[in-house]
Amino acid sequence: MVDLKNYDFVRHNQEVKAVWDAYNAGRPIRVPMIIGTNSRYFIFNEDANPQNITFKQYMENPDTMFECQVIFNDWSRHHILCDQMMGLPQDGEFWNVGVDFQNFYEAAWFGCPVYYIEGNVPDTRPILDDNHKNMLFDKGIPDPFSGIMAKAREYYEYFQTKAEVYSYKGVKVRVGGVSGLGTDGPMTVACNLRGATEFCMDLVLDPEYAHELLYYITEATIQRIQAWRKYMGLDMYPDLWGFADDSISLLSCEMYKEFILPYHKRLCEALSAPHAVRSIHLCGDASRHFSLIKRELNVYEFDTGFPIDLAEVIRELGPKVRVNGGPHVEFLRTASPEEVRQEVRRIMESGVKSNKRFVLREANNLAPYTPVVNIAAMYEACKEYGKY
């Protein structure tokens, strides 16, 4: 474990502010580094979760979800070195919590059964087998506040009430996002509902059905997000908006353009301002689609997974596009600190700094059991080799 007992958090936070201020002003002094974590990393980390809270306990009890997130937030701010504010929140900062149903909530909302896997995140099983392909069409679009989203509203309202009277280490809590405000994307959800193999076969053997399912998912997603934005008092057409669709890494450029791009356009038009600057998260190697996505969807931030050639992507996308990426998460989990340091050096010297918009991160989402000494090594190497 990294010993941060005597770490100068005040100085760290001043540097972090300077780094991000310079980056956002278009005059970066070095590459910023972020780390993507969620409850998966902390629940399977005995240092962050000494009570051994399980995902089932976390998901099915709002008090557990709320309090675990506060504790995880505190642990992160004292152990995970990156360009985030660290130490106890200061100057009006809060602990941040949100309703967290991981990546299974969309499929569950459509009716897929949820099951818990020992040592892993919860998941769902497909429901649209060949004998029930049209089941959802017959039922119609689900109510935005039905099923798991009814539970999400119950948790959200409970969190707001609890936050009014709850504090941890003298710091109050702010309730933020809710599972349901975003989307993992129409193709990814189609693969969850139908099965990835089955849906990919549909694209070839039954394209009319594939389009019908994608249209249904897209329109349902729009209705859900719009209803939740209205309920929470959020901007209905924000200037900044992002989404994901990891499963497009399975497609050729031609198939993406024919089958998925129209529904991505529909999402962007319905859920963001006409000239919004948009972002997209894409795991796997979907880089062959990036130029088209930038041009057709006005996407100027790509949050990448592994494997892609980051320097080549940055050259191709041009000077104004932000690209987030870095070492493979399994590499970070298993490598030595020195190996991590050398991998960061390799990335920094590959050409990723050419447009001054690169952000270093793990690729993608910190794996359970990743040693914090490796994260610290990544950060120190970023500060050394990421200078402009």
DSSP string, 266-294: HHHHHHS-TT-EEEEEE-SS-GGGHHHHH
Taking the CA atoms of residue 126, residue 132, residue 133 and residue 135 in that order, the dihedral angle to the nearest 10 degrees is -90
Q: H-helix or E-strand containing 219?
A: helix 207-232
Which bin fits 92, alpha (ψ -120 to 50), beta or left (φ > 0)? left
Place of tokens 């998912």: 217
What is the spatial distance between Cα 124 and Cα 104, in angstroms, rounded to a whole number?
Answer: 6
- Which pLDDT score, from 0 to 100, does residue 15 have? 97
Q: H-helix or E-strand containing 324?
A: strand 322-325
Instruction: Give the residue from 327, 287, 290 showing the smallest Cα distance to 309.
Output: 287
What is the spatial distance between Cα 33 and Cα 83, in angstroms, rounded to a whole number?
Answer: 5
What is the spatial distance between Cα 139 and Cα 203, in angstroms, rounded to a whole number?
Answer: 23
Contacts of residue 112, Cβ cutoff 8 Å, sequence gap at least 6:
104, 124, 125, 126, 127, 192, 193
- Which pLDDT score, from 0 to 100, does residue 212 have? 98
- Which pLDDT score, from 0 to 100, does residue 5 have? 78
What is the spatial distance between Cα 11 and Cα 184, in angstroms, rounded to a whole number?
Answer: 37
DSSP 143: P
Q: Please write down the long-range contacts of 343-351, taking CB distance under 8 Å and 24 or more positions apart.
A: 344/377, 344/378, 344/381, 344/382, 344/385, 345/381, 345/384, 345/385, 347/310, 348/31, 348/381, 348/382, 348/385, 348/386, 349/385, 350/310, 350/311, 351/311, 351/312, 351/314, 351/315
Contacts of residue 88, Cβ cutoff 8 Å, sequence gap at least 6:
74, 77, 169, 170, 171
Q: Is the dihedral of CA 380, 39, 307, 355 positive or negative?
A: negative
CB atoms within 10 A of CB 115: 11
- Which pLDDT score, from 0 to 100, does residue 2 have? 60
- DSSP 3-state of 149: helix
- Whole-structure pTM value: 0.96
Report residue 223 as tokens: 């209705």
DSSP 257: I
Q: Is the dihedral of CA 312, 315, 319, 320 positive or negative?
A: negative
- DSSP 3-state of 4: coil
- Which pLDDT score, from 0 to 100, does residue 1 have? 47
Task: Kindly report the length of the chain.
Answer: 388
- Which pLDDT score, from 0 to 100, does residue 3 have? 66
Residuewise pLDDT in 10s, the chain (388 residues): 466 878 999 999 999 999 999 999 999 999 999 999 999 999 999 999 999 999 999 999 999 999 999 999 999 999 999 999 999 999 889 999 999 999 999 999 999 999 999 989 999 999 999 999 999 999 999 999 999 999 999 999 999 999 999 999 999 999 999 999 999 999 999 999 999 999 999 999 999 999 999 999 999 999 999 999 999 999 999 999 999 999 999 999 999 999 999 999 999 999 999 999 999 999 989 999 999 999 999 999 999 988 899 999 999 999 999 999 999 999 999 999 999 999 999 999 999 999 999 999 999 899 999 999 999 999 999 999 999 9
What is the spatial distance between Cα 76 and Cα 79, in angstroms, rounded to a whole number?
Answer: 5
- DSSP count for the chain of H helices, then E strands: 17, 10
Partners of 328 in the beta sheet?
A: 363
